[in-house]
C-alpha cells in the first residue's frame, strides 16, 4: 500500500489531537492538584508541609516513564484494568501537580511577608489572607512561568506512547514502520510538537518581559 | 482477592538493576560533560552575539526545547540512517542527551554570562590578564557559579529523561527493568524498585553536583 504525503499528515493530525487533549486534561488536573499541594506546602503545620514536600520530591526525583508504568500496572493490581488513556491522564496529572506546586510556591513566597501581616491585622484568617490578598498578587508573577511549564506538559505526553496511548509520537511510530520513511515521519512529528510548543514558549517570554517592564 | 506483593523475583535480578543503574550514570556523565561544554560554546556565542554562531545556536535551542526528548531520540536513531548516519543504540542515546542538555545549558549559561557586570572585563584588562585568563576567571567561573544550581537540576532532568532510551534498546536502567518484568511477570514490583533506584540516583547526583559546585565552581564567592 502506498502512502501519499497527505495520508501521513492526515494521520499525524489525528494523533496531534490526542496529544492536545491529553495535554489539556493533564494541565487542568495538574493545576487543581498542584494548587492543593502548594497550599499544603506553605502551611504552618509540619505534617501537611512535609507531605507536600515529599510529594514534590518524589515526582521531581523519578522518571515520568516510571510514574506512568506504576499507574498503569498499579491500577491493574487494584483490580481495575486501566486504559492507556486513563493511566496517561492520571500519571501526567500527578507529574504536573508537583512542578506547578513548586513554581507557585515560589510565586507566593515572592510576595512580601508584610502583606500577610497586614491582612492578619485586618482580622482575616490564614485562608482569607491567602485567598484575597496574597494569591491575587502571586497570580500576576505566576502566569509567565506557568505558561512556560505548559511546554513541559505537552512534551511529557510523548512518553505515554510507550504504554500504547496513540498520540502523536505513537502514531508517528506506526506510520514510520508502515512507510519505511522514518526521517520524514519523525521530522513531521517533531514539527507537530514544535507548532504546539513554540507559541507557548514565545508567550511565556513575552509575558515575562512585560512583567519585568511593569515592575 | 487481595494481591500479594512479592519483591523476591525482582531482588533475584539485583545484579541487572545495578548494571543498568551504572550504565545510566555513565550515559549521564558523558552527556553532562559534553552537554555543558556545548552549552558553554552556545552560551558565550549567544551572550556576546557572535555572528553567525549566535543565530545558529538560537535556532538549535528553540528546536530542541520545543520538541520532546523521545522524538529527538527516535529521529536520531531511526531517521538519521536515511542520511547514512547509522548510530548504535548507546551512541544515539548519548547524542540525544548531549544535544538536549546542550540546548538548555546554552540558555542557562547565557543568563549567567550576562549577569557578570561589564566592568569586570575592564578590571581584568587593567590587571594585565591575557584574554584566555580573563575568559576563564572573569567570565566562565563567575557565570557557572551563578547558574550552577540550575545547571545541576537540568543534568538530573536529563538523567531521569534517559529512561525512555530503553525504547531504542539502550541497555540502561529501565531497559533492564523491562527485561526483568518480562521474565517474572511482576511488573509493579519491578518498576517500584526501579523507581526507587532512580530516586536514589537523583539524590546521589544532586549531592555530587553540589559538592563539585562548592569545591571547584563557587569558591571565593
Q: Which residues in chain A are closer than 8 Å to B174, comparing Cβ atoms?
A: 63, 65-66
Over residues A8-47, the pLDDT tens digits come to 999 999 999 999 999 999 999 999 999 999 999 999 999 9
Q: Which residues of B fall within a CB distance of 8 Å from A58?
A: 199
Distance set, CA B88 to CA A104, A172, B78, B85 (Å): 42, 21, 11, 10
User: Nearest 5°: CA angle at A49, between A153 and A64?
Assistant: 25
Closest chain A residue to the Cα of B155, Cα to Cα: A61
In a domain, B22, yes or no: yes
What is the structure's pLDDT at B3?
81
CB of B120 closer than 8 Å to CB of B50: no
CATH number, domain containing residue B160: 1.10.3720.10
Does a structural domain hold residue B1? no
Q: CB–CB of A201 and B62 under 8 A?
A: yes
User: Which residues in chain B show pLDDT less than 70?
Assistant: 1, 219-221
Contact A72, A2 (CB under 8 A): no
- B186 within domain boundaries: yes
Closest-CA distance of chain B to residue A214, Å: 21
Taking the CA of residue B197 and the nearest CA in chain A, the distance in Å comes to 9
CATH superfamily of A5-214: MetI-like (1.10.3720.10)
pLDDT digits (tens, 9 = 90+) for A114-132: 999 999 999 999 999 999 9
Q: Pick from A22, A55, A65, A189 the residue to mutate for testing the B interface (most B CBs within 10 Å).
A: A65
Compare CB distances from B82 to A169, A183, A194 and report the shortest one's residue.
A183
Whether B30 is in a domain gets the answer: yes
Total domains in the fold of chain B: 1
Q: What is the mean pLDDT of residues A62-68?
A: 98
Task: Identify whether B96 is part of a domain.
Answer: yes
What string of H, E and C letters represents the secondary structure of chain B? CCCCCCCHHHHCCHHHHHHHHHHHHHHHHHHHHHHHHHHHHHHHHHHCCCCCHHHHHHHHHHHHHCCCHHHHHHHHHHHHHHHCCCCCHHHHHHHHHHHHHHHHHHHHHHHHHHCCCCHHHHHHHHCCCCHHHHHHHHHHHHHHHHHHHHHHHHHHHHHHHHHHHHHHCCCCHHHHHHHHHHHHCCHHHHHHHHHHHHHHHHHHHHHHHHHHHHHHHCCCC
Of B160, B167, B188, the CB nearest to A62: B160
Q: Are B120 and B103 in contact (CB under 8 A)?
A: no
Q: Give me the pLDDT at residue A213, please.
A: 80
Residues ≥6 apart with Cβ < 8 Å to B83: A183
Measured between alpha carbons, how far is B5 from A148 in angstroms, rounded to an integer?
Answer: 40
pLDDT, mean of residues A57-82:
93
Cβ count within 10 A of residue A4: 8
Report yes or no: A185 and A176 within 8 Å, Cβ to Cβ: yes
Burial of B56 (0-12, 13-18, 19+ CB in 10 A): middle
* Smallest CA–CA distance from B85 into chain A, residue: A183
What DSSP string describes A110-153? TS-HHHHHHHHHTT--HHHIIIIIIHHHHHHHHHHHHHHHHHHH
Complex prediction ipTM: 0.93
Query: Which residues, including other chains, have CB under 8 Å from residue A44's CB and lie 6 or more apart?
Result: A126
What's residue A7's pLDDT? 93
Confidence of residue A212 (pLDDT cuts 50, 70, 90): confident
Is B137 within the bounds of a domain? Answer: yes
Cell 563567575 found at: B142
CA distance A46 to chain B (A): 23
Q: Considering the domain boundaries, does residue B3 fall inside one?
A: no
The number of beta carbons lying within 10 Å of the beta carbon of residue B174 is 27
pLDDT at position B219, please? 66
Q: Do A186 and B75 touch (CB under 8 A)?
A: yes
- Which range of residues forms the domain containing residue B40? 8-217
Amino acid at each position: 500500500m502506498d502512502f501519499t504525503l497527505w495520508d501521513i499528515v492526515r494521520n499525524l493530525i489525528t494523533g496531534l489531537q490526542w496529544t492536545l487533549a491529553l495535554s489539556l486534561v493533564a494541565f487542568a488536573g495538574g493545576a487543581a492538584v498542584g494548587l492543593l499541594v502548594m497550599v499544603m506546602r506553605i502551611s504552618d503545620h509540619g505534617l501537611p508541609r512535609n507531605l507536600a514536600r515529599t510529594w514534590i520530591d518524589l515526582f521531581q526525583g523519578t522518571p515520568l516513564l516510571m510514574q506512568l508504568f506504576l499507574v498503569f500496572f498499579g491500577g491493574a493490581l487494584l483490580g481495575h484494568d486501566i486504559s492507556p488513556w486513563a493511566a496517561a491522564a492520571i500519571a501526567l496529572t500527578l507529574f504536573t501537580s508537583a512542578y506547578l506546586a513548586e513554581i507557585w510556591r515560589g510565586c507566593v513566597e515572592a510576595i512580601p511577608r508584610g502583606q500577610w501581616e497586614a491582612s492578619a491585622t485586618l482580622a482575616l484568617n490564614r485562608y482569607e489572607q491567602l485567598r484575597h490578598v496574597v494569591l491575587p498578587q502571586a497570580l500576576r508573577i505566576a502566569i509567565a512561568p506557568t505558561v512556560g511549564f505548559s511546554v513541559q506538559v505537552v512534551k511529557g505526553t510523548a512518553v505515554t506512547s510507550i504504554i500504547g496511548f496513540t498520540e502523536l509520537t505513537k502514531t508517528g511510530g506506526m506510520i514510520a514502520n508502515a512507510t519505511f520513511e522514518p526521517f520524514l515521519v519523525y521530522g513531521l512529528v517533531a514539527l507537530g510538537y514544535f507548532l504546539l510548543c513554540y507559541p507557548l514558549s514565545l508567550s511565556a517570554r513575552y509575558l515575562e518581559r512585560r512583567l519585568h517592564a511593569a515592575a | 482477592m487481595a494481591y500479594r506483593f512479592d519483591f523476591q523475583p525482582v531482588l533475584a535480578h539485583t545484579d541487572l538493576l545495578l548494571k543498568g543503574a551504572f550504565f545510566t550514570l555513565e550515559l549521564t556523565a558523558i552527556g553532562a560533560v559534553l552537554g555543558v561544554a556545548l552549552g558553554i560554546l552556545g552560551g558565550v556565542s549567544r551572550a556576546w552575539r557572535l555572528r553567525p554562531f549566535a543565530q545558529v545556536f538560537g535556532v538549535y535551542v528553540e528546536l530542541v526545547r520545543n520538541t520532546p526528548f523521545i522524538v529527538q531520540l527516535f529521529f536520531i536513531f531511526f531517521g538519521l540512517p536515511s542520511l547514512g548516519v547509522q548510530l548504535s543504540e548507546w551512541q544515539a542515546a548519548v547524542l540525544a542527551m548531549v544535544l538536549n542538555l546542550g540546548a538548555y545549558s546554552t540558555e542557562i549559561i547565557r543568563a549567567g554570562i550576562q549577569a557578570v557586570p561589564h566592568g569586570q572585563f575592564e578590571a581584568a584588562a587593567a590587571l594585565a590578564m591575557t584574554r584566555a585568563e580573563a575568559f576563564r576567571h572573569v567570565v566562565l567561573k563567575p557565570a557557572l557559579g551563578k547558574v550552577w544550581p540550575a545547571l545541576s537540576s537540568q543534568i538530573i532532568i536529563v538523567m531521569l529523561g534517559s529512561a525512555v532510551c530503553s525504547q531504542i534498546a539502550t541497555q540502561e536502567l529501565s531497559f533492564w527493568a523491562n527485561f526483568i518484568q518480562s521474565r517474572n511477570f511482576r511488573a509493579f514490583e519491578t518498576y517500584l524498585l526501579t523507581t526507587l533506584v532512580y530516586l536514589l540516583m537523583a539524590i546521589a547526583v544532586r549531592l555530587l553536583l553540589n559538592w563539585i559546585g562548592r569545591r571547584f565552581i563557587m569558591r571565593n564567592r
